[in-house]
Structure 1
Amino acid sequence: MNAPEDNNTLLITQHDGVVTLSFNRPEAKNALNTEMRTALHDAVVRIRADRSIRAVVLRGEGGDFCSGGDVRGMNVTSAQAGRERIDDLHGWISMLIDLDRPVIAAVDGVCYGAGFSLALAADFVIASERARFCMPFMKVGLVPDCGAFYTLPRVVGLARAKDLVFTAREMRAPEAKEAGAVLEIVEAAQLHARAAQIAACLANASPVAFGLAKRALNQSLGSDLRAMLDIEAAAQGIAFSTEFHREAVRRFREKEAPLFQWPVSQ
Protein backbone atom coordinates (compact mmCIF):
# COMPACT_ATOMS: atom_id res chain seq x y z
CA MET A 1 0.00 0.00 0.00
CA ASN A 2 1.48 3.29 -1.08
CA ALA A 3 1.60 6.27 1.27
CA PRO A 4 0.38 8.90 1.52
CA GLU A 5 -2.88 8.51 -0.37
CA ASP A 6 -5.85 10.86 -0.52
CA ASN A 7 -9.25 9.69 -1.68
CA ASN A 8 -11.05 12.64 -0.07
CA THR A 9 -13.16 10.85 2.52
CA LEU A 10 -10.41 8.50 3.74
CA LEU A 11 -6.79 9.54 4.15
CA ILE A 12 -4.23 6.72 4.13
CA THR A 13 -0.65 7.02 5.32
CA GLN A 14 1.99 4.38 5.97
CA HIS A 15 5.16 4.56 8.05
CA ASP A 16 7.42 1.74 9.23
CA GLY A 17 4.79 -0.93 8.66
CA VAL A 18 1.94 0.98 10.37
CA VAL A 19 -0.97 2.14 8.21
CA THR A 20 -3.21 4.94 9.46
CA LEU A 21 -6.75 5.25 8.10
CA SER A 22 -8.16 8.71 8.82
CA PHE A 23 -11.87 9.39 8.35
CA ASN A 24 -11.97 12.73 6.55
CA ARG A 25 -15.40 14.33 6.59
CA PRO A 26 -14.90 16.71 9.53
CA GLU A 27 -17.75 18.95 8.40
CA ALA A 28 -20.09 15.98 9.06
CA LYS A 29 -18.23 14.68 12.13
CA ASN A 30 -16.78 12.02 9.82
CA ALA A 31 -20.14 10.38 9.13
CA LEU A 32 -19.89 7.35 6.85
CA ASN A 33 -21.24 8.05 3.39
CA THR A 34 -21.14 5.79 0.35
CA GLU A 35 -17.74 7.08 -0.78
CA MET A 36 -16.14 6.50 2.62
CA ARG A 37 -17.61 3.01 2.96
CA THR A 38 -16.22 2.11 -0.47
CA ALA A 39 -12.83 3.55 0.44
CA LEU A 40 -12.77 1.58 3.70
CA HIS A 41 -13.66 -1.63 1.86
CA ASP A 42 -10.83 -1.11 -0.62
CA ALA A 43 -8.34 -0.19 2.13
CA VAL A 44 -9.13 -3.20 4.33
CA VAL A 45 -8.90 -5.60 1.38
CA ARG A 46 -5.49 -4.18 0.45
CA ILE A 47 -4.21 -4.22 4.03
CA ARG A 48 -5.21 -7.85 4.42
CA ALA A 49 -3.21 -8.77 1.31
CA ASP A 50 -0.10 -6.69 2.13
CA ARG A 51 2.13 -8.55 4.61
CA SER A 52 4.47 -5.55 4.90
CA ILE A 53 1.73 -3.87 6.96
CA ARG A 54 2.22 -4.87 10.60
CA ALA A 55 -0.38 -2.70 12.37
CA VAL A 56 -3.33 -0.41 11.63
CA VAL A 57 -4.54 2.79 13.29
CA LEU A 58 -8.09 4.12 12.85
CA ARG A 59 -8.68 7.82 13.58
CA GLY A 60 -10.81 10.77 12.58
CA GLU A 61 -9.95 14.23 11.33
CA GLY A 62 -11.19 17.46 12.87
CA GLY A 63 -11.61 16.44 16.52
CA ASP A 64 -14.14 13.63 16.10
CA PHE A 65 -13.74 9.91 15.42
CA CYS A 66 -16.93 9.09 13.51
CA SER A 67 -20.59 10.02 14.06
CA GLY A 68 -21.89 6.87 12.37
CA GLY A 69 -23.86 6.51 9.16
CA ASP A 70 -24.75 9.63 7.22
CA VAL A 71 -28.45 9.99 8.09
CA ARG A 72 -28.96 12.55 5.32
CA GLY A 73 -28.03 9.90 2.79
CA MET A 74 -30.32 7.22 4.17
CA ASN A 75 -33.16 6.77 1.69
CA VAL A 76 -33.78 3.03 2.06
CA THR A 77 -37.46 2.19 1.50
CA SER A 78 -37.65 -1.62 1.64
CA ALA A 79 -36.41 -4.45 3.84
CA GLN A 80 -34.50 -5.99 0.92
CA ALA A 81 -32.72 -2.74 0.11
CA GLY A 82 -31.88 -2.29 3.78
CA ARG A 83 -30.42 -5.76 3.99
CA GLU A 84 -28.36 -5.26 0.84
CA ARG A 85 -27.00 -2.00 2.25
CA ILE A 86 -25.78 -3.77 5.38
CA ASP A 87 -24.61 -6.92 3.59
CA ASP A 88 -22.29 -4.70 1.57
CA LEU A 89 -20.56 -3.70 4.81
CA HIS A 90 -20.12 -7.16 6.24
CA GLY A 91 -17.30 -8.36 3.99
CA TRP A 92 -14.80 -5.70 5.03
CA ILE A 93 -16.10 -5.38 8.60
CA SER A 94 -15.49 -9.09 9.21
CA MET A 95 -12.04 -8.78 7.62
CA LEU A 96 -11.23 -5.87 9.93
CA ILE A 97 -12.43 -7.69 13.07
CA ASP A 98 -10.50 -10.82 12.12
CA LEU A 99 -7.42 -9.05 10.74
CA ASP A 100 -4.37 -10.99 11.95
CA ARG A 101 -2.52 -7.80 12.87
CA PRO A 102 -2.99 -5.19 15.62
CA VAL A 103 -5.72 -2.61 15.06
CA ILE A 104 -5.73 0.51 17.26
CA ALA A 105 -8.58 3.03 17.33
CA ALA A 106 -7.73 6.58 18.40
CA VAL A 107 -11.07 8.03 19.52
CA ASP A 108 -11.57 11.74 19.97
CA GLY A 109 -14.87 13.54 20.32
CA VAL A 110 -17.92 11.81 18.85
CA CYS A 111 -17.85 8.02 18.44
CA TYR A 112 -21.46 7.20 17.58
CA GLY A 113 -23.34 4.41 15.84
CA ALA A 114 -21.28 2.74 13.14
CA GLY A 115 -18.34 4.80 14.37
CA PHE A 116 -18.62 3.09 17.76
CA SER A 117 -18.87 -0.23 15.91
CA LEU A 118 -15.65 0.54 14.03
CA ALA A 119 -13.87 1.34 17.30
CA LEU A 120 -15.12 -1.96 18.74
CA ALA A 121 -13.58 -3.76 15.75
CA ALA A 122 -10.15 -2.64 16.97
CA ASP A 123 -8.02 -4.60 19.42
CA PHE A 124 -7.35 -1.52 21.56
CA VAL A 125 -9.15 1.80 21.86
CA ILE A 126 -7.18 4.84 23.00
CA ALA A 127 -9.53 7.71 23.85
CA SER A 128 -9.19 11.40 24.60
CA GLU A 129 -10.79 12.74 27.75
CA ARG A 130 -13.51 14.32 25.59
CA ALA A 131 -14.46 11.11 23.71
CA ARG A 132 -18.16 10.23 23.73
CA PHE A 133 -19.51 6.80 22.80
CA CYS A 134 -23.10 6.03 21.82
CA MET A 135 -25.26 3.46 20.04
CA PRO A 136 -28.03 5.88 18.96
CA PHE A 137 -29.82 3.51 16.57
CA MET A 138 -33.05 3.33 18.61
CA LYS A 139 -33.47 7.08 18.13
CA VAL A 140 -33.98 6.53 14.40
CA GLY A 141 -35.74 3.15 14.64
CA LEU A 142 -32.75 1.04 13.60
CA VAL A 143 -30.57 -1.64 15.16
CA PRO A 144 -26.77 -1.62 15.65
CA ASP A 145 -24.72 -2.57 12.61
CA CYS A 146 -21.12 -2.95 11.43
CA GLY A 147 -20.67 -6.01 13.64
CA ALA A 148 -21.76 -4.44 16.94
CA PHE A 149 -24.08 -7.32 17.88
CA TYR A 150 -20.95 -9.48 17.90
CA THR A 151 -18.38 -7.09 19.36
CA LEU A 152 -20.28 -4.98 21.90
CA PRO A 153 -21.42 -7.79 24.29
CA ARG A 154 -17.96 -9.37 24.10
CA VAL A 155 -16.29 -6.10 25.07
CA VAL A 156 -18.65 -4.66 27.72
CA GLY A 157 -20.78 -7.67 28.71
CA LEU A 158 -24.37 -8.49 27.79
CA ALA A 159 -26.13 -6.41 30.45
CA ARG A 160 -24.24 -3.22 29.63
CA ALA A 161 -24.61 -3.88 25.91
CA LYS A 162 -28.39 -4.03 26.38
CA ASP A 163 -28.26 -0.81 28.38
CA LEU A 164 -26.32 1.03 25.67
CA VAL A 165 -28.40 -0.32 22.77
CA PHE A 166 -31.88 -0.08 24.30
CA THR A 167 -31.46 3.38 25.86
CA ALA A 168 -29.22 4.91 23.15
CA ARG A 169 -27.53 6.85 25.95
CA GLU A 170 -24.11 8.43 25.71
CA MET A 171 -21.10 6.93 27.51
CA ARG A 172 -18.18 9.21 28.36
CA ALA A 173 -14.56 8.09 28.22
CA PRO A 174 -14.16 7.23 31.96
CA GLU A 175 -17.21 4.93 31.90
CA ALA A 176 -16.04 3.39 28.63
CA LYS A 177 -12.69 2.62 30.23
CA GLU A 178 -14.35 1.12 33.31
CA ALA A 179 -16.51 -1.02 30.99
CA GLY A 180 -13.46 -2.34 29.14
CA ALA A 181 -14.15 -0.58 25.84
CA VAL A 182 -11.19 1.79 26.26
CA LEU A 183 -7.62 0.83 27.15
CA GLU A 184 -6.26 4.29 27.96
CA ILE A 185 -7.50 7.86 28.27
CA VAL A 186 -5.04 10.57 27.24
CA GLU A 187 -5.16 14.29 26.58
CA ALA A 188 -6.58 15.12 23.16
CA ALA A 189 -3.32 16.72 22.06
CA GLN A 190 -1.47 13.43 22.76
CA LEU A 191 -4.08 11.03 21.39
CA HIS A 192 -2.81 10.34 17.90
CA ALA A 193 0.83 10.18 18.93
CA ARG A 194 -0.04 7.69 21.68
CA ALA A 195 -2.04 5.48 19.32
CA ALA A 196 0.81 5.50 16.82
CA GLN A 197 3.27 4.64 19.59
CA ILE A 198 1.23 1.62 20.68
CA ALA A 199 0.75 0.47 17.09
CA ALA A 200 4.49 0.73 16.44
CA CYS A 201 5.22 -1.33 19.55
CA LEU A 202 2.72 -4.06 18.65
CA ALA A 203 4.10 -4.12 15.11
CA ASN A 204 7.29 -5.54 16.62
CA ALA A 205 5.49 -8.61 17.98
CA SER A 206 5.71 -11.94 16.18
CA PRO A 207 3.24 -11.61 13.30
CA VAL A 208 2.57 -15.35 13.42
CA ALA A 209 2.00 -15.52 17.18
CA PHE A 210 -0.13 -12.37 17.17
CA GLY A 211 -2.32 -13.61 14.35
CA LEU A 212 -2.77 -17.04 15.93
CA ALA A 213 -3.57 -15.57 19.35
CA LYS A 214 -6.07 -13.09 17.94
CA ARG A 215 -7.87 -15.74 15.96
CA ALA A 216 -8.09 -18.01 19.01
CA LEU A 217 -9.35 -15.24 21.28
CA ASN A 218 -12.00 -14.21 18.75
CA GLN A 219 -13.27 -17.82 18.72
CA SER A 220 -13.02 -18.47 22.46
CA LEU A 221 -16.44 -17.26 23.65
CA GLY A 222 -18.21 -19.42 21.09
CA SER A 223 -16.17 -22.57 21.71
CA ASP A 224 -15.88 -25.22 24.40
CA LEU A 225 -12.78 -26.21 26.36
CA ARG A 226 -11.85 -29.14 24.11
CA ALA A 227 -12.06 -27.05 20.95
CA MET A 228 -9.91 -24.31 22.47
CA LEU A 229 -7.31 -26.81 23.68
CA ASP A 230 -7.08 -28.20 20.14
CA ILE A 231 -6.68 -24.66 18.74
CA GLU A 232 -4.05 -23.93 21.38
CA ALA A 233 -2.01 -27.02 20.54
CA ALA A 234 -2.09 -26.38 16.80
CA ALA A 235 -1.24 -22.70 17.21
CA GLN A 236 1.62 -23.33 19.62
CA GLY A 237 3.10 -25.92 17.28
CA ILE A 238 3.19 -23.33 14.52
CA ALA A 239 4.58 -20.64 16.82
CA PHE A 240 7.40 -22.91 18.06
CA SER A 241 8.54 -23.36 14.45
CA THR A 242 9.01 -19.63 13.71
CA GLU A 243 12.30 -17.80 13.37
CA PHE A 244 10.92 -15.10 15.66
CA HIS A 245 10.59 -17.61 18.50
CA ARG A 246 14.08 -18.99 17.98
CA GLU A 247 15.62 -15.53 17.92
CA ALA A 248 13.64 -14.44 20.99
CA VAL A 249 14.89 -17.47 22.93
CA ARG A 250 18.47 -16.81 21.83
CA ARG A 251 18.24 -13.19 22.97
CA PHE A 252 16.80 -14.28 26.32
CA ARG A 253 19.67 -16.73 26.88
CA GLU A 254 22.27 -14.17 25.85
CA LYS A 255 20.63 -11.42 27.94
CA GLU A 256 20.15 -9.24 24.87
CA ALA A 257 17.32 -6.76 24.26
CA PRO A 258 14.06 -8.55 23.41
CA LEU A 259 12.45 -8.30 20.00
CA PHE A 260 9.14 -7.29 21.59
CA GLN A 261 8.56 -5.56 24.89
CA TRP A 262 5.54 -4.09 26.68
CA PRO A 263 4.52 -1.70 28.17
CA VAL A 264 4.96 1.20 25.82
CA SER A 265 6.39 4.10 27.77
CA GLN A 266 4.50 7.38 27.48
Structure 2
Amino acid sequence: MIELKIDGGVAEVVLNAPKKLNSLGEQDLLDLAAALDEAAAAGAKALYLRGEGRAFCAGRDIAGVVPAEDDVADFLGNKVTGVLKKISEFPAPTFAAVQGACLGVGLGLALACDVVYVAESAKIGSPFANLGATLDSGGHWLFTERLGTHRTLDLIYTAEFMSGREAVEQGLFSRWVADDELDEFTRSRVARVAEGAQLAFATSKKLVQDIRDRRIGMWESIADENVAQGELCKSEDYAEGFKAFQEKRKPTFTGK
Protein backbone atom coordinates (compact mmCIF):
# COMPACT_ATOMS: atom_id res chain seq x y z
CA MET A 1 0.00 0.00 0.00
CA ILE A 2 3.01 2.30 0.24
CA GLU A 3 3.86 4.06 -3.01
CA LEU A 4 6.89 6.27 -3.70
CA LYS A 5 7.35 8.59 -6.64
CA ILE A 6 10.30 10.95 -7.05
CA ASP A 7 9.93 13.74 -9.59
CA GLY A 8 11.62 17.12 -9.84
CA GLY A 9 13.27 16.74 -6.46
CA VAL A 10 9.97 15.97 -4.72
CA ALA A 11 9.48 12.58 -3.09
CA GLU A 12 5.78 11.79 -2.89
CA VAL A 13 4.89 9.01 -0.46
CA VAL A 14 1.32 7.78 -0.72
CA LEU A 15 -0.60 5.61 1.72
CA ASN A 16 -2.76 3.80 -0.80
CA ALA A 17 -5.26 1.48 0.83
CA PRO A 18 -8.42 3.59 0.81
CA LYS A 19 -10.77 0.68 1.53
CA LYS A 20 -9.25 0.37 5.01
CA LEU A 21 -8.79 4.15 5.38
CA ASN A 22 -5.02 3.72 4.93
CA SER A 23 -4.65 2.07 8.32
CA LEU A 24 -1.17 0.62 8.81
CA GLY A 25 -0.02 -2.85 9.79
CA GLU A 26 3.50 -4.00 10.61
CA GLN A 27 4.50 -4.69 7.00
CA ASP A 28 3.07 -1.36 5.90
CA LEU A 29 5.25 0.42 8.43
CA LEU A 30 8.32 -1.49 7.25
CA ASP A 31 7.49 -0.51 3.68
CA LEU A 32 6.99 3.11 4.72
CA ALA A 33 10.37 3.14 6.46
CA ALA A 34 11.99 1.71 3.32
CA ALA A 35 10.31 4.37 1.15
CA LEU A 36 11.60 7.13 3.42
CA ASP A 37 15.12 5.69 3.25
CA GLU A 38 14.92 5.48 -0.53
CA ALA A 39 13.70 9.06 -0.82
CA ALA A 40 16.49 10.32 1.42
CA ALA A 41 19.14 8.33 -0.48
CA ALA A 42 17.84 9.78 -3.76
CA GLY A 43 18.53 13.28 -2.45
CA ALA A 44 14.91 14.43 -2.42
CA LYS A 45 14.61 18.15 -1.78
CA ALA A 46 11.13 17.90 -0.28
CA LEU A 47 8.87 15.11 0.95
CA TYR A 48 5.11 15.05 0.39
CA LEU A 49 3.16 12.52 2.49
CA ARG A 50 -0.50 11.94 1.74
CA GLY A 51 -3.24 9.34 1.92
CA GLU A 52 -5.35 8.14 -1.00
CA GLY A 53 -9.13 8.31 -0.76
CA ARG A 54 -11.29 9.86 1.92
CA ALA A 55 -8.86 9.50 4.84
CA PHE A 56 -5.24 10.36 5.54
CA CYS A 57 -4.72 7.45 7.93
CA ALA A 58 -7.17 6.02 10.45
CA GLY A 59 -4.38 4.55 12.59
CA ARG A 60 -3.29 0.98 13.09
CA ASP A 61 -4.76 -1.80 10.99
CA ILE A 62 -6.29 -4.00 13.69
CA ALA A 63 -7.76 -6.59 11.33
CA GLY A 64 -6.69 -9.95 12.67
CA VAL A 65 -5.28 -8.53 15.91
CA VAL A 66 -6.08 -10.64 18.97
CA PRO A 67 -5.92 -8.31 22.01
CA ALA A 68 -4.82 -11.02 24.44
CA GLU A 69 -1.88 -11.93 22.20
CA ASP A 70 -1.00 -8.47 20.92
CA ASP A 71 2.32 -6.95 22.01
CA VAL A 72 1.33 -3.32 21.61
CA ALA A 73 4.48 -1.97 23.26
CA ASP A 74 6.59 -3.81 20.68
CA PHE A 75 4.42 -2.60 17.80
CA LEU A 76 4.65 1.01 18.91
CA GLY A 77 8.24 0.98 20.13
CA ASN A 78 9.84 -1.09 17.39
CA LYS A 79 7.58 -0.42 14.41
CA VAL A 80 5.93 2.98 14.77
CA THR A 81 8.48 5.09 16.65
CA GLY A 82 11.26 4.39 14.15
CA VAL A 83 9.09 5.63 11.28
CA LEU A 84 8.17 8.79 13.19
CA LYS A 85 11.87 9.47 13.78
CA LYS A 86 12.68 8.93 10.10
CA ILE A 87 10.08 11.52 9.13
CA SER A 88 11.20 14.00 11.78
CA GLU A 89 14.87 13.57 10.84
CA PHE A 90 14.33 13.50 7.07
CA PRO A 91 17.11 15.62 5.51
CA ALA A 92 14.72 17.91 3.63
CA PRO A 93 11.46 19.75 4.35
CA THR A 94 8.52 17.42 4.93
CA PHE A 95 4.86 18.15 4.21
CA ALA A 96 1.68 16.24 4.97
CA ALA A 97 -1.76 16.78 3.43
CA VAL A 98 -4.45 15.52 5.78
CA GLN A 99 -8.04 14.79 4.84
CA GLY A 100 -10.68 12.76 6.62
CA ALA A 101 -9.59 10.62 9.55
CA CYS A 102 -6.18 11.36 11.05
CA LEU A 103 -5.99 9.18 14.15
CA GLY A 104 -3.53 7.15 16.20
CA VAL A 105 -0.50 6.21 14.13
CA GLY A 106 -1.82 8.46 11.36
CA LEU A 107 -1.84 11.42 13.72
CA GLY A 108 1.74 10.59 14.68
CA LEU A 109 2.81 10.56 11.02
CA ALA A 110 1.29 13.99 10.47
CA LEU A 111 2.72 15.47 13.66
CA ALA A 112 6.20 14.23 12.71
CA CYS A 113 6.17 16.30 9.50
CA ASP A 114 7.53 19.83 9.34
CA VAL A 115 4.43 21.34 7.73
CA VAL A 116 0.87 20.00 7.84
CA TYR A 117 -1.99 21.28 5.72
CA VAL A 118 -5.42 19.91 6.60
CA ALA A 119 -8.75 19.77 4.85
CA GLU A 120 -11.34 21.89 6.59
CA SER A 121 -13.49 18.84 7.39
CA ALA A 122 -10.67 16.52 8.54
CA LYS A 123 -11.26 14.55 11.76
CA ILE A 124 -8.45 14.78 14.29
CA GLY A 125 -8.34 13.57 17.86
CA SER A 126 -8.09 10.58 20.16
CA PRO A 127 -10.79 7.88 19.87
CA PHE A 128 -9.01 5.58 22.32
CA ALA A 129 -11.28 6.26 25.30
CA ASN A 130 -13.90 4.21 23.48
CA LEU A 131 -11.46 1.28 23.33
CA GLY A 132 -10.15 1.44 26.88
CA ALA A 133 -6.75 2.58 25.59
CA THR A 134 -4.93 5.88 25.33
CA LEU A 135 -3.42 8.26 22.80
CA ASP A 136 -0.06 7.13 21.39
CA SER A 137 2.47 7.88 18.62
CA GLY A 138 3.65 11.06 20.33
CA GLY A 139 0.16 12.45 20.73
CA HIS A 140 0.36 13.27 24.44
CA TRP A 141 3.53 15.32 24.12
CA LEU A 142 2.52 17.20 21.00
CA PHE A 143 -1.08 17.84 22.04
CA THR A 144 0.08 19.17 25.40
CA GLU A 145 2.84 21.24 23.76
CA ARG A 146 0.51 22.89 21.26
CA LEU A 147 -2.94 22.78 22.85
CA GLY A 148 -2.22 22.88 26.59
CA THR A 149 -3.17 20.44 29.32
CA HIS A 150 -6.86 21.31 29.57
CA ARG A 151 -7.64 20.94 25.87
CA THR A 152 -5.49 17.80 25.59
CA LEU A 153 -7.29 15.98 28.38
CA ASP A 154 -10.65 17.22 27.12
CA LEU A 155 -9.96 15.56 23.76
CA ILE A 156 -8.66 12.37 25.39
CA TYR A 157 -11.45 11.99 27.95
CA THR A 158 -14.34 12.76 25.60
CA ALA A 159 -12.93 11.09 22.45
CA GLU A 160 -14.36 14.02 20.50
CA PHE A 161 -12.76 15.06 17.22
CA MET A 162 -11.57 18.43 16.01
CA SER A 163 -12.22 19.49 12.45
CA GLY A 164 -9.24 20.51 10.37
CA ARG A 165 -10.24 24.13 10.77
CA GLU A 166 -10.49 23.81 14.56
CA ALA A 167 -7.12 22.04 14.74
CA VAL A 168 -5.42 24.89 12.91
CA GLU A 169 -7.20 27.62 14.85
CA GLN A 170 -6.07 25.95 18.09
CA GLY A 171 -2.44 25.81 16.93
CA LEU A 172 -2.01 22.13 16.12
CA PHE A 173 -1.28 22.33 12.39
CA SER A 174 -0.03 24.82 9.80
CA ARG A 175 -3.21 25.87 7.98
CA TRP A 176 -6.56 24.57 6.80
CA VAL A 177 -7.64 24.42 3.18
CA ALA A 178 -10.98 23.77 1.48
CA ASP A 179 -11.36 20.02 1.01
CA ASP A 180 -11.27 20.08 -2.78
CA GLU A 181 -8.18 22.33 -2.86
CA LEU A 182 -5.95 20.43 -0.42
CA ASP A 183 -3.86 18.38 -2.85
CA GLU A 184 -3.29 21.18 -5.35
CA PHE A 185 -2.49 23.65 -2.57
CA THR A 186 0.02 21.31 -0.94
CA ARG A 187 1.69 20.34 -4.21
CA SER A 188 2.27 23.97 -5.12
CA ARG A 189 4.01 24.66 -1.80
CA VAL A 190 6.08 21.49 -1.92
CA ALA A 191 7.26 22.26 -5.46
CA ARG A 192 8.22 25.79 -4.43
CA VAL A 193 10.21 24.56 -1.44
CA ALA A 194 11.97 21.89 -3.53
CA GLU A 195 13.41 24.72 -5.63
CA GLY A 196 14.47 26.69 -2.57
CA ALA A 197 17.63 27.08 -0.51
CA GLN A 198 18.10 23.61 0.95
CA LEU A 199 21.05 24.52 3.17
CA ALA A 200 19.08 27.34 4.75
CA PHE A 201 16.02 25.12 5.21
CA ALA A 202 18.08 22.39 6.89
CA THR A 203 19.60 24.99 9.19
CA SER A 204 16.22 26.38 10.22
CA LYS A 205 14.85 22.88 10.74
CA LYS A 206 17.68 22.09 13.15
CA LEU A 207 17.31 25.39 14.99
CA VAL A 208 13.58 24.84 15.48
CA GLN A 209 14.03 21.21 16.55
CA ASP A 210 16.71 22.23 19.06
CA ILE A 211 14.27 24.67 20.63
CA ARG A 212 11.61 21.96 20.77
CA ASP A 213 13.73 19.00 21.86
CA ARG A 214 16.55 20.59 23.87
CA ARG A 215 14.40 23.33 25.38
CA ILE A 216 17.08 25.93 24.80
CA GLY A 217 16.37 29.52 25.78
CA MET A 218 16.13 32.58 23.57
CA TRP A 219 19.70 33.77 24.03
CA GLU A 220 21.20 30.36 23.32
CA SER A 221 19.01 30.12 20.25
CA ILE A 222 20.16 33.56 19.11
CA ALA A 223 23.77 32.47 19.57
CA ASP A 224 23.09 29.37 17.47
CA GLU A 225 21.44 31.53 14.82
CA ASN A 226 24.46 33.81 14.68
CA VAL A 227 26.81 30.90 14.04
CA ALA A 228 24.46 29.32 11.52
CA GLN A 229 24.00 32.55 9.60
CA GLY A 230 27.74 33.05 9.45
CA GLU A 231 28.18 29.61 7.91
CA LEU A 232 25.33 30.05 5.44
CA CYS A 233 26.77 33.36 4.24
CA LYS A 234 29.86 31.46 3.08
CA SER A 235 27.79 29.17 0.85
CA GLU A 236 27.31 29.23 -2.90
CA ASP A 237 23.57 29.42 -2.34
CA TYR A 238 23.94 32.67 -0.41
CA ALA A 239 26.13 34.17 -3.13
CA GLU A 240 23.55 33.15 -5.74
CA GLY A 241 20.64 34.46 -3.69
CA PHE A 242 22.38 37.78 -3.08
CA LYS A 243 23.27 38.15 -6.75
CA ALA A 244 19.76 37.22 -7.89
CA PHE A 245 18.30 39.83 -5.53
CA GLN A 246 20.55 42.50 -6.99
CA GLU A 247 19.69 41.42 -10.54
CA LYS A 248 15.96 41.20 -9.74
CA ARG A 249 15.63 37.59 -10.90
CA LYS A 250 14.70 34.24 -9.39
CA PRO A 251 17.69 32.50 -7.76
CA THR A 252 18.84 29.03 -8.77
CA PHE A 253 19.96 27.21 -5.64
CA THR A 254 22.17 24.12 -5.71
CA GLY A 255 22.34 23.20 -2.03
CA LYS A 256 26.04 24.05 -1.84
TM-score by length of 1: 0.85
- The correspondence for 1:15, drawn from 7, 14, 18, is 7
Structure 2 partner of 1:38: 30
Which residue among 188, 196, 201 is the counterpart of 2:192? 201
Shift >6 Å, 4+ stretches: none
How far is the alpha carbon of 1:259 from its aligned partner?
Answer: 5.0
Alpha-carbon offset, residue 258 of structure 1: 4.4
Alpha-carbon separation, structure 1, partners of 2:66 and 2:231: 49
CA shift in 2, pair 1:112/1:92, >3 Å: closer
Q: Deviations over 1:58-117 (max 9, x none)?
A: 1111221110112334335479x3322212122221121232322111111111221122
5 Å matches for 1:1-266? 9-51=1-43, 53-75=44-66, 77=68, 81-88=71-78, 89-221=80-212, 222-258=215-251
Aligned-residue Cα RMSD (Å) equals: 2.2
Contiguous gaps of at least 5 residues in structure 2: none
Number of matched pairs? 250
Percent same amino acid among aligned pairs? 28
Distance 2:251 2:23 in 1: 42
**What CA distance in whole angstroms lies between the structure 2 residues aligned with 1:98 and 1:144?**
22
Amino acid at match of 1:84: D
Query: Structure 1: which 5+ runs fail to align?
Result: 1-8, 261-266
CA deviations over 1:215-235 (Å, ceiling 9, x no partner):
111121412234323422332
Tell me which amino acid in the other structure corresponds to 1:183: S
Q: CA deviation at 1:202?
A: 1.3
